[in-house]
Structure 1
Amino acid sequence: MMNYYYLLLLAIAFEVCGTTCMKLSEGFTKLLPSVLIFVFYAISFFLFTLALKGIDVSVAYAIWAGLGTALITIVGILWFREPATALKMISLIVVITGVIGLHLSDKVT
C-alpha cells in the first residue's frame, strides 16, 4: 500500500526547493536557479497529484500550503538571514498547529 502522505511530504520538499530557487534566481538573471524553479515545481505538482489519489484535496492542499509556508519561512530565516521577529515565530506556530489539526481531522471519522 502506498503511503500518500510520503508523496505529499516529497511534493512539499520540492515546492520549497522551487521557491528557494526563485530567490536564488535574482529575478531570472541566474540561469541554473531559474531552470530549477520549473524542474522543482514540475516534480512537486506531479507528486502532489499522486498524493491526491489517497488524501482529500482539502486536507492535502492545506497541509501542502501550511508546511510549505512554514518551511520556506525557516529557509528565509536561516539561509537568507531574514529577521525572526516574535510575531513571525508566533504566526509560524499557529500555521504548524493548524496543519497538525488538519492532519488529525483526516483521521477522525
Structure 2
Amino acid sequence: MKSWIFLSVAILTEVVATSALKASDGFSRIMPSIVVIVGYVLSFYFLSLALKTIPVGIAYATWAGLGIVLITVIAWVMYGQKLDLGALVGMTLILAGVVVMNLFSSVTPH
C-alpha cells in the first residue's frame, strides 16, 4: 500500500511541476522555475520508491496516464485550453486503460 502512496505523490508532484513549467516562461521566472525543478526531483524520487514493489510498466503507465489527464484538466481550468470531443474521448480512453490495467492485470500487485 505504501508504494501506491509513493506513486500518488510522484504523480501529484509531476503535475505541479508541469503546471509550473508554463508559468516559468522558459525558465526566465525564478519562482516557477524552482517549483519545476523541485517538483520533478521529488516526482522521480517518489516514483523510484514506488518501483521497489510496483512493476515499472504498471507504475510508469499509471504515472504518465494520470499525469496527462490531470495536466489537461489544469490547462483547461487555468489557461482556458479548449477540449474538443476527440480530446475528451482520448482522455477517457487513457483513464479507462489505467483502470483496466490496475484492476484486471495479473502483473499488478493488488
TM-score normalized with structure 1 length: 0.93
Which residue of structure 2 aligns with residue 89 of structure 1? 88
Which residue of structure 2 aligns with residue 74 of structure 1? 73
Which residue of structure 1 aligns with residue 60 of structure 2? 61
- The Cα shift of 1:3 comes to 2.0
- The Cα shift of 1:13 comes to 0.2
Matched, 1:22 2:45: no
* Runs of 4+, deviation exceeding 3 Å: none
Aligned partners of 2:12, 2:92: CA distance in 1, in Å? Answer: 19
Q: Report the RMSD for the aligned CA atoms in angstroms.
A: 1.2
* Percent of residue pairs identical: 36
Secondary structure of the residue that 1:83 maps to in structure 2?
coil
Q: Which amino acid aligns with 1:16?
A: V
Aligned partners of 1:107, 1:53: CA distance in 2, in Å? Answer: 12
Q: Which amino acid aligns with 2:79?
A: F
Q: Which amino acid aligns with 2:83?
A: A
Aligned partners of 1:102, 1:32: CA distance in 2, in Å? Answer: 37
Q: String of CA shifts for 1:28-74, please: whole Å, max 9, x gaps.
A: 12110011111000010110000001100110000001001111011
Q: Which runs of 5+ in 2 are unaligned?
A: none
Q: Which amino acid aligns with 1:49?
A: S
Aligned partners of 1:84, 1:48: CA distance in 2, in Å? Answer: 29
Aligned partners of 1:89, 1:107: CA distance in 2, in Å? Answer: 29
Q: Which runs of 5+ in 1 are unaligned?
A: none
- The Cα shift of 1:6 comes to 1.1
Give aligned pairs, total. 107
- The Cα shift of 1:86 comes to 1.0
- The Cα shift of 1:107 comes to 4.9
8 Å contact kept, 2:3–2:50: yes
Aligned partners of 1:6, 1:34: CA distance in 2, in Å? Answer: 26
